[in-house]
Structure 1
């Protein structure tokens, strides 16, 4: 989410980054609260006190916290889905890039082979031209000797 927010326009970026920081703070607070509740097993009296306080405020606080936790969880799930889709797109793009590079390599080899063949043909044409020139000279001499 952070990367997506940073890549947006400056007008939207600031608000989204502020919300993201708020969500991160909320998430860290919730994590700390979960750790405190989980570590309460070490101290049964502290747990009992928390439960008593929780009973007094439980409806107002827990509903608000549950709502925020559900919203945060939903946003995390959406971000996970986006990351999964991005990873799939990345892999498809990588496969396409590899395929293109293989095609380009094959085309390079074909061009290199054609270049070699062209040089071979050019050499053969040069040799043929020399042979024909020599034959033409010989024919001129023979014609010059035969024509009195």
Structure 2
């Protein structure tokens, strides 16, 4: 609730109660005293009307849910102000009965206008809600499109990463094949070296044995 609105509201309620008391006392007066009292009341009515306008401006500047509550209150205050004006009109009239009938007729027309104004207000509020809903739908659609674009971009990135992984996997398989071939070649070379070692060892042993035999026969 708006503190500014509440401040205007307190001032209006105090002023309205004061004006109501003055209207009651003015009805008991005559002549110049009555005119003076009516003049004071009309000055107070101008002040009350100014407070009503301030409350109306403040209420319309607030959030929709708060604004609706305050505008409903404001309609009651406007009705109260109209009743005070009617009462002053009757008091200040030379023919109170005729003035009372005129006030009743004006009240009936005012009620009809109030109903029309209420319907117009409800229509404007409904239109505002529809516009807000339309804006939310547009915002949701925009967010959905942005999310869709982001999803497509992510899928494209994932596809590229998958292709990179497949290429790396194929490269690793090729490396494994090369390592396997190298291992087989090294194994074959190791076997050949082992075989050559045995052959060389055998040749050396035969030569040593031949030398020993030659020396033996020579010495003998």
Residue 115 of structure 1 pairs with residue 115 of structure 2: no
**Which of 130, 140, 147 is the equivalent residue of 1:86?**
140
- Under a length normalisation based on structure 2, what TM-score does the superposition of the two structures give? 0.40
- 1:104 corresponds to: 158
- 1:26 corresponds to: none
Structure 1 residue 61 displacement after superposition: 2.9
**Can you list the C-alpha shifts for 1:100-148, whole angstroms capped at 9, x where unaligned?**
0000000111111111111111111111101100011011111211122
Structure (1 or 2) with the larger CA radius of gyration: 2
- 1:144 corresponds to: 198
Distance, in Å, in 2 between the alignment partners of 1:103 and 1:56 is 69
**Can you list the C-alpha shifts for 1:66-102, whole angstroms capped at 9, x where unaligned?**
0000000010111111111111111111111011000
Residue 130 of structure 1 pairs with residue 184 of structure 2: yes
- 1:16 corresponds to: none
Distance, in Å, in 2 between the alignment partners of 1:66 and 1:143 is 113
Distance, in Å, in 2 between the alignment partners of 1:124 and 1:90 is 50
- Under a length normalisation based on structure 1, what TM-score does the superposition of the two structures give? 0.59
Distance, in Å, in 1 between the alignment partners of 2:131 and 2:113 is 26
SS of equivalent to 1:76: helix
Structure 1 residue 56 displacement after superposition: 9.5
Distance, in Å, in 2 between the alignment partners of 1:90 and 1:128 is 56
Distance, in Å, in 1 between the alignment partners of 2:112 and 2:162 is 72
Q: Superposition pairs for residues 66-85 of structure 1, below 5 Å?
A: 66-85=120-139
Please, which runs of 5 or more residues in structure 1 have no aligned partner?
1-54
Aligned residues between the structures: 94
Q: Superposition pairs for residues 50-61 of structure 1, below 5 Å?
A: 59-61=113-115
Bigger shift: 116-125 or 58-67?
Answer: 58-67
